[in-house]
Amino acid sequence: MNPQPEWLQTRSTADDRGASYLSIQDVNKTYRTRNGDVHAVEHADFDIDEGDFVSLVGPSGCGKSTLMSMIGGLETPTGGRILVGGAPITAPRRDFGYVFQDPTLLPWKSVLDNVLFPIRTQKRVVADYLAEAERLLRLTGLWDFRDKRPAELSGGMRQRVAICRGLINDPRLLMMDEPFSALDAITRDDMNLALAKLWDEVHKTAIFITHSIREAVFLSDRVLVMTARPSRIVADIRIPFARPRIDTMQDEALFSEICAYIRDEIHQAHDKHVSR
Amino acid sequence: MKLIHRLLGIEAQDIDGLSRQILMPVGFALAVLLLWEGVTHVFSIKEVLLPAPSAIWSRLQESLPVLLQHAWPTAWESVAGFLIASVLGIGLAALLSASHTMRSMLYPNVVLFQLIPKIALAPLFIVWLGIGFESRLAFSVFISFFPIVVATLAGLDNVDKSLLRLCRALTASNWQVFASVRLPHALPYVFSGMKIATTFAIIGVIVGEFITSQAGLGYLILFASSQADTALILATITVLCVFGLVFYGLVALAERWTRTRFGA
């Protein structure tokens, strides 16, 4: 076997745990069904440092969305614990932002009002956030569309509105659950570039879920590779590309090498499962 | 009914669309009236059996003061019945949507009540509330209430699950979810229930007037029937139709206004 490439990280040791912003410690999620228990997530165990853009990449059904829901406080782990700044998560937090697979915009509200929806819901003063809303909408090229209804926008624009909405309350962590998976390939590439550009401006901690390996490598500072049955993390990769991320990065040999490594990890686990 | 909705919804439609939506149905109706007119003359049908449209029209003109005088109680009772039913219906639907207990207790019974031929209960209302307007109003409320409850509840329930998840992630309160997501989402449903309810409210009042009344279009129909004045019966029904259309049109206008102002 080849020597380990330097971008492949070894698991963090037990004694430096808890120093990170977000600490996922031996987390399990088991659903009880009539046909027996379903282990959606098994032994998820990793830390996330503040400021890192971290992708969870893996096949469908590997439990990555469940894991994100637990980090977001929308579901409770059946084992282990998740700490934010040392305190366990028990419910959704107001200093988190969320972007889901569907844009989930309110169809009867304008783009601007949709972006401000979390502010109104959390009873913050809207006037304090108008400038931030304008900044985010300008960064995503949506300012001219601020008075439009979601139905008047394209799928990519709607998802950009959802990202602005996720960022409006200046969250410490933004969670994105396959935000681009419903878009066509070309739009998706555009969205990746737009998101990379946005990240050069907002510098936030992010957890990004995807089953596109290239997308994960292009956007992230770190990629966690998950496999299904058993659901576990098989590789932890620090992406050695500087920011700002540019399109041509995807043509570099190292980029392809990392993508190939991740693909192999996922396929190996899958083959093992199939041959069992 | 659809025609009126379309009429109110005319925007920049091309001539072909206009002719399909307006000229064709109106033209067909006129043709039927002409045929009716012709048949009554050619076969010299007695006016007591089937008066010609022209005879109904002249009866309508000569009896207009009487018709309008009787239209008033029917109109206000059905509009008031409709408004009360709307408030109660939307209120009950909100309650059922908010409380699981209430829903388990009440909703199956609401559905069961839906199945009762409600007109059969009209005499009970006379027994309970007497022969004044109260019994007709109450019966009108009773009969127009159900479509509003059922439609509103469907709208409140039918909200996208992912929107509810977003609300949970944003730590929205139940009240916020109701006011900013469920209710605006339900508006089109509420109005479709209300549009059905306009007709039901009128039916409620007319049935009440059939049973016992000294005034109103229902009373006038019964009276004309006792006089074998078929032209007056049909003239009264024409007035009822016009009232029904205006009533429905006003609700459709209210819907347009509300939806451009608040919702989907």
Instruction: Indicate which CATH number applies to the domain containing B105.
Output: 1.10.3720.10
Closest Cα in chain B, distance from residue A91 (Å): 8
Domains of chain A: 18-48+72-275 (3.40.50.300)
pLDDT band with cut points at 50, 70 and 90 for residue A52: very high
Do B105 and B141 belong to one domain? yes
At residue B29, the pLDDT reads 94
Angle between helices B100-115 and B133-157 (to 10 degrees): 120
Q: Do residue A106 and residue B181 have CB atoms under 8 angstroms apart?
A: yes
Q: Are residues B154 and B252 in the same domain?
A: yes
The verdict on a CB contact (< 8 Å) between A74 and B181 is no
- Torsions phi, psi for A227 (to 5 deg): -125, 160
- B113 and B128 in a single domain? The answer is yes
Question: Do residues A111 and A143 touch, judged by C-beta distance below 8 A?
Answer: no
pLDDT given for residue A37 in this prediction: 87
Same domain, B142 and B177: yes
With b for 16 or more beta-carbon neighbours within 10 A and e for fewer, the B34-53 pattern comes to: eebeeebeeeeeeeeebbbb
**Same domain assignment for residues B14 and B133:** no
Highest mean pLDDT among A252-266, B11-25, B77-91, B169-183 belongs to B77-91
Chain A residues with CB under 8 Å of B168 CB are 74, 92
Q: Please, are residues B186 and B155 in contact by the beta-carbon 8 Å criterion?
A: yes
From B163, B259, B263, residue closest to A104, measured CB to CB:
B163
Q: Which residues of B touch A164 (CB under 8 A)?
A: none
pLDDT bin (cut points 50, 70, 90) of residue A33 is: confident
Give how many domains chain B has, as a whole number. Answer: 2
Mean pLDDT across chain A = 89
Same domain for B12 and B94, yes or no, is no
Give CA A184 to chain center in angstroms.
Answer: 19
Share of chain A above pLDDT 70, in %: 94
Does one domain contain both B16 and B116? Answer: no
Interface test with A, best of B171, B173, B256 (most A CBs within 10 A): B171
- Find which of A121, A147, A149, A178 to mutate to test the B interface (most B CBs within 10 Å of its CB): A121
Q: Same structural domain for residues B77 and B2?
A: no
Same domain, B106 and B216: yes
| Partner residue opposite B169 with nearest CB, options A92, A101, A108 | A92
Which residue of A91, A100, A108 is in closest CB contact with B166? A100
**Which of A118, A121, A107, A109 minimizes the C-alpha distance to A147?**
A109
pLDDT higher than threshold 70 for residue A1: no
Mean pLDDT of B75-89: 97
Which backbone phi and psi does B64 adopt, to 5 degrees? Answer: -55, -45
What domain range includes position B12? 1-45
Chain B residues in contact with A91 by the CB 8 A cut-off are 171
Average of per-residue pLDDT values in chain B: 90
pLDDT of residue A228: 80
What is the C-alpha separation between B163 and A149, in angstroms, rounded? 16
Are B35 and B150 part of one and the same domain? Answer: no
Please give the residue of chain A at the shortest CA–CA distance from B262: A108
Interface residues from chain B to A (CB-CB < 8 Å): 160, 162-163, 165-172, 176, 180-181, 184-185, 259, 262-264
What's CA A225's distance to the chain center, in Å?
13
Angstroms from A99 CA to nearest CA on chain B? 9
Q: CA-nearest residue of chain B to A168? A: B170
**Which of B10, B26, B45 is the endpoint of a domain?**
B45
Average pLDDT of span A131-142: 94
Q: What residues of chain A lie within 8 A of the CB of B167, using their CB? A: 121
B28 and B105 co-located in one domain: no
For residues B74 and B127, membership in a common domain is answered with yes
**Chain A residues touching residue B159 (CB < 8 angstroms):** none
**pLDDT value at position B79?**
97
| Residue A162: closest C-alpha in chain B | B166
